């Protein structure tokens, strides 16, 4: 299956909606519009020409484990070498350690492309970037000196070792031990499962970030520490040295992302070093998890785009039946299926969800950049709060959207969608994991309500709604958009009221938190996307009024916005009604009665 980066839409989002060049100037990173466009074009060529062609075979071939060594699918090793040599791996890394310090508002677009080209390939590098963030923020100077530079360059990869057989969502249950040694290191012992890239043949060293308990640690999540445990201990000259006491015991055989190794990792008294303070491991890991959750959201976006591209290509070529009002292509035996309203419904649903999520991704990326790079502390704090509110929405909604888009793609292909050679069923299988790992989407929704909404009594959410309400008032000033603006305005007001209701009911009955969470997250996402579609429409209308050219592109934006507001946004109403249905009907049935 071919993949082409959606460069025109990316430029629309980056330049026309988010003024990426102005953003870079504010951050002082020396990137200008020309450079950014050049990087995006290179990225499109790399992902489309080098990575996408590997994806299908990676699904067929999968990974192999022999004598403790994992072989990745044909072509992955060479492509990863190129990925490192061309500097893609170091794009976002800290400048002090050889990174290029690209802001997320630029790099997110590259990462979306990578995910769309091959999620399996991206898995190996994705967690390394999160590990770099955690190590840079919490690691000792010695650890940074010995490991960070190689991880930033991508020569060494990183993993995230949280999950154990008995400890998935609930990390309080984890048992891996870390015992202090006289030289300041620790001996790490335990079994981790489901470790992405735990073993592979692409990088010369693998640096595991492992959650474990010290001997005197308090029970539960307050007694978890983070340790760096390398496959090969780094030599003083920066080369991989002594083999550590850890191994890959097995790899999983799974539904999708078969080209990405998912490993059982055994730590048998392996040497490790503390990252951050003892018993503060979860807080340190959260640095990595926030990034990882944003990245998993982008996985949904990339796969959703890839599925849309596949569906669109097919819908323009496949000839079946005539259009309802007569032949659209009388010279052919039948019309292309894109003439049928139901096929258009699926394609436009994909298109508007994907492009809507891309706008929200850019907005979130900008907050992440400001959280780390704004020059005053108040701006950094405000951006951190905004990003924290949005990350669970991005992770859960984008990945649900990716799965939905893949499912529409299968449907657009008809029976051929079910057949392997067309690639749509692979996208459906590959995207399914994104709803599960990095905290299931149910857990993201709980995080949104419990930590983010109840955490500050709804203050940050109301600030976000205020910002969107102001943008809506601006758009309402354009006569052509008055009707769209009134739809969005009404939804923003409803969102505010709904949040207040959810807070009140959750305070009265804790079960309401879990009973309303998924619907509230979905509702919030649909309304957020409506706000962005209105902004897109306003920008497009201005371009049309100014006669800047590309009229068809901007008309399509207006038509997409109209479709989204009329045909997709109404889903928010059913989520609202469902959540107002309350917890009682969920909790009333005794456990035994489920089996009747």
Task: Provide the 8-state DSSP code for 595.
Answer: G
Shortest distance (Å) from residue 533 CB to ligand FAD: 30
| Residue 439 in the binding site for ligand FAD (CB under 6 A) | yes
Residue nearest to ligand FAD according to CB distances in the complex: 168
Indicate the length of the chain as a whole number. 596
Q: Which is nearer to ligand FAD, 414 or 442 (CB)?
A: 442
Closest Cα partner for 51 from 151, 129, 120? Answer: 120
Tell me how far apart the alpha carbons of residues 61 and 270 are, in angstroms, rounded to a whole number: 32
Read off the tokens for 511.
Answer: 């079960």
Helix or strand or coil: residue 29? coil
Closest Cα partner for 337 from 311, 310, 319? Answer: 319
Task: Pick one of 433, 536, 544, 579: the residue that binds ligand FAD (CB under 6 A).
Answer: 433
Task: Pick one of 87, 98, 180, 442: the residue that binds ligand FAD (CB under 6 A).
Answer: 442
Stretch that binds ligand FAD, among 128-136, 194-202, 387-395, 485-493 (CB under 6 A): 194-202
Q: What is the 3-state secondary structure (H, E, C) of 446-499?
A: HHHHHHHHHHHCCHHHHHHHHHHHHHHHHHHCCHHHHHHHHHHHHHHHHHHHHH
Stretch that binds ligand FAD, among 70-78, 188-196, 319-327, 414-422 (CB under 6 A): 188-196
* Residue at token pair 């459906």: 428
Beta-bridge partners for 251:
263
Half-sphere exposure of 213 (CA within 13 A, CB side): 18
Burial of 252 (0-12, 13-18, 19+ CB in 10 A): middle
Shortest distance (Å) from residue 560 CB to ligand FAD: 33
Stretch that binds ligand FAD, among 358-366, 442-450, 451-459, 474-482 (CB under 6 A): 442-450
Read off the tokens for 435.
Answer: 């709803």
| Residue 196 in the binding site for ligand FAD (CB under 6 A) | yes
Task: Pick one of 161, 484, 534, 536: the residue that binds ligand FAD (CB under 6 A).
Answer: 161
Closest Cα partner for 207 from 143, 283, 118, 258? Answer: 143
Q: Which is nearer to ligand FAD, 9 or 438 (CB)?
A: 438
Dihedral of CA atoms 320, 322, 323, 325 in degrees, nearest 10, equals -170
Under rule CB under 6 A, which residues in 264-303 are in contact with ligand FAD?
Answer: none
Each residue 230-269 as x (binds ligand FAD by CB under 6 A) or -, in order, gives ------------------------x-------x-------
Q: Which is nearer to ligand FAD, 352 or 444 (CB)?
A: 444
Task: Pick one of 113, 117, 195, 226: the residue that binds ligand FAD (CB under 6 A).
Answer: 195
Stretch that binds ligand FAD, among 42-50, 220-228, 329-337, 431-439 (CB under 6 A): 431-439
DSSP string, 518-549: HHHHHHHHHHHHHHHHHHHHHHHHHHHHHT-S
| Residue 121 in the binding site for ligand FAD (CB under 6 A) | no
Q: Which is nearer to ligand FAD, 19 or 252 (CB)?
A: 252
Q: Which is nearer to ligand FAD, 57 or 511 (CB)?
A: 511
Stretch that binds ligand FAD, among 154-162, 343-351, 387-395, 526-534 (CB under 6 A): 154-162
Residues 6+ apart with CB under 8 A from 22: none
Q: What is the largest CA-CA distance in the chain?
A: 84
Stretch that binds ligand FAD, among 105-113, 316-324, 441-449, 550-558 (CB under 6 A): 441-449
Q: Which is nearer to ligand FAD, 293 or 576 (CB)?
A: 293
Q: Which is nearer to ligand FAD, 63 or 492 (CB)?
A: 63
| Residue 169 in the binding site for ligand FAD (CB under 6 A) | yes
Shortest distance (Å) from residue 392 CB to ligand FAD: 13
Each residue 341-360 as x (binds ligand FAD by CB under 6 A) or -, in order, gives --------------------
Shortest distance (Å) from residue 190 CB to ligand FAD: 12
Tell me how far apart the alpha carbons of residues 323 and 321 are, in angstroms, rounded to a whole number: 7
Closest Cα partner for 105 from 357, 380, 368, 392? Answer: 368
Q: Which is nearer to ligand FAD, 195 or 465 (CB)?
A: 195
Stretch that binds ligand FAD, among 161-169, 552-560, 568-576, 577-585 (CB under 6 A): 161-169
Closest Cα partner for 437 from 54, 119, 80? Answer: 119
Stretch that binds ligand FAD, among 3-11, 111-119, 294-302, 438-446 (CB under 6 A): 438-446
* Residue at token pair 């209105």: 534
Task: Provide the 8-state DSSP code for 227.
Answer: E
Burial of 366 (0-12, 13-18, 19+ CB in 10 A): buried
Under rule CB under 6 A, which residues in 488-547 are in contact with ligand FAD?
Answer: 514
Residues 6+ apart with CB under 8 A from 229: 161, 188, 207, 208, 209, 210, 244, 246, 267, 270, 271, 272
Under rule CB under 6 A, which residues in 57-116 are in contact with ligand FAD?
Answer: none
Read off the tokens for 422.
Answer: 């067309």
Shortest distance (Å) from residue 52 CB to ligand FAD: 21
| Residue 436 in the binding site for ligand FAD (CB under 6 A) | yes
**DSSP H or E segment with residue 241:** strand 240-243
| Residue 43 in the binding site for ligand FAD (CB under 6 A) | no
Shortest distance (Å) from residue 93 CB to ligand FAD: 20
Dihedral of CA atoms 336, 340, 346, 348 in degrees, nearest 10, equals 90
| Residue 435 in the binding site for ligand FAD (CB under 6 A) | no
| Residue 212 in the binding site for ligand FAD (CB under 6 A) | no
Within a 10 A sphere around the Cβ of 334, how many other Cβ atoms?
A: 15
Residue 438 annotated as catalytic: yes
Helix or strand or coil: residue 274? strand
Tell me how far apart the alpha carbons of residues 115 and 129 are, in angstroms, rounded to a whole number: 15
Q: Which is nearer to ligand FAD, 109 or 289 (CB)?
A: 289
| Residue 194 in the binding site for ligand FAD (CB under 6 A) | yes
The active-site residue, picked from 112, 164, 199, 438, is 438
| Residue 440 in the binding site for ligand FAD (CB under 6 A) | yes
Q: Which is nearer to ligand FAD, 161 or 412 (CB)?
A: 161
Chain residues that interact with ligand FAD, rule: CB under 6 A: 159-163, 168-169, 194-196, 254, 262, 433, 436-440, 442-443, 446, 514
Q: Which residues are catalytic?
A: 438
């Amino acid at each position: 299956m071919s993949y082409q980066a959606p460069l025109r839409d990316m430029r629309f989002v980056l330049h026309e909606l988010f003024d990426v060049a102005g953003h870079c100037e504010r951050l002082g990173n020396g990137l200008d519009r020309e450079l950014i466009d050049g990087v995006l074009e290179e990225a499109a060529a790399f992902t489309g020409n080098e990575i996408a062609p590997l994806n299908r075979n990676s699904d067929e071939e999968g990974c192999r484990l022999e004598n403790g060594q994992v072989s990745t699918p044909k072509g992955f090793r060479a492509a990863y070498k190129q990925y490192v040599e061309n500097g893609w791996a170091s794009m976002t890394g800290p400048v002090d350690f050889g990174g290029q310090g690209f802001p997320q508002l630029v790099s997110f677009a590259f990462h979306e492309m990578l995910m769309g080209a091959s999620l399996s390939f991206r898995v190996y590098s994705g967690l390394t970037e999160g590990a770099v963030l955690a190590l840079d923020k919490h690691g000792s100077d010695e650890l940074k000196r010995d490991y960070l530079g190689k991880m930033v360059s991508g020569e060494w990869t990183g993993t995230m070792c949280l999950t154990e057989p008995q400890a998935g969502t609930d990390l309080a249950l984890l048992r891996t031990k870390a015992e202090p040694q006289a030289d300041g290191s620790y001996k790490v012992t335990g079994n981790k499962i489901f470790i992405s890239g735990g073993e592979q043949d692409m990088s010369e060293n693998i640096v595991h970030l492992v959650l474990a308990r010290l001997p005197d640690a308090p029970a539960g999540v307050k007694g978890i520490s983070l340790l760096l445990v390398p496959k090969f201990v780094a030599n003083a000259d920066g080369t991989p040295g002594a083999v550590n006491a850890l191994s890959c015991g097995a790899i999983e055989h799974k539904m999708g992302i078969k080209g990405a190794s998912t490993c059982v990792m055994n730590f048998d008294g392996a040497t490790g070093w503390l990252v951050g303070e003892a018993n503060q491991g979860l807080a340190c890991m959260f640095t990595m998890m926030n990034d990882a959750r944003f990245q998993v959201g982008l996985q949904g976006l990339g796969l959703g785009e890839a599925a849309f591209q596949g569906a669109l290509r097919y819908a323009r070529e496949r000839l079946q039946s005539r259009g309802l009002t007569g032949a659209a292509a009388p010279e052919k035996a039948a019309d292309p299926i894109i003439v049928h309203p139901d096929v258009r419904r699926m394609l436009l649903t994909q298109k508007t969800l994907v492009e809507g999520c891309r706008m929200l991704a850019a907005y979130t990326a900008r907050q992440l950049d400001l959280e780390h790079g704004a020059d005053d502390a108040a701006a950094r704090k405000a951006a951190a709060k905004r990003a924290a509110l949005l990350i669970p929405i991005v992770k859960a909604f984008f990945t649900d959207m990716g799965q939905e888009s893949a499912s529409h793609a299968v449907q657009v292909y008809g029976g051929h969608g079910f057949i392997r050679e067309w690639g749509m069923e692979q996208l459906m299988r590959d995207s399914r994991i994104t709803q599960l790992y990095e905290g299931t989407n149910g857990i993201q929704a709980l995080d949104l309500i419990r930590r983010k909404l109840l955490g500050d009594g709804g203050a940050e959410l109301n600030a976000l709604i205020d910002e969107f309400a102001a943008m809506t008032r601006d758009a309402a000033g354009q006569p052509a958009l008055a009707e769209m603006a009134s739809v969005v305005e009404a939804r923003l007001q409803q969102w505010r009221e709904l949040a207040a209701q959810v807070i009140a009911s959750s305070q009265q009955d804790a079960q309401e938190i879990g009973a309303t969470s998924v619907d509230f997250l979905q509702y919030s996402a649909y309304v957020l996307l409506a706000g962005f579609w209105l902004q897109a429409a306003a920008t497009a209308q201005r371009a049309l009024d100014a006669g800047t050219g590309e009229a068809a592109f901007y008309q399509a934006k207006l038509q997409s916005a109209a479709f989204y507001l009329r045909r997709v946004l109404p889903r928010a109403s059913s989520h609202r009604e469902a959540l107002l249905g309350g917890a009682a009907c969920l909790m009333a049935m005794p456990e035994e009665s489920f089996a009747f």
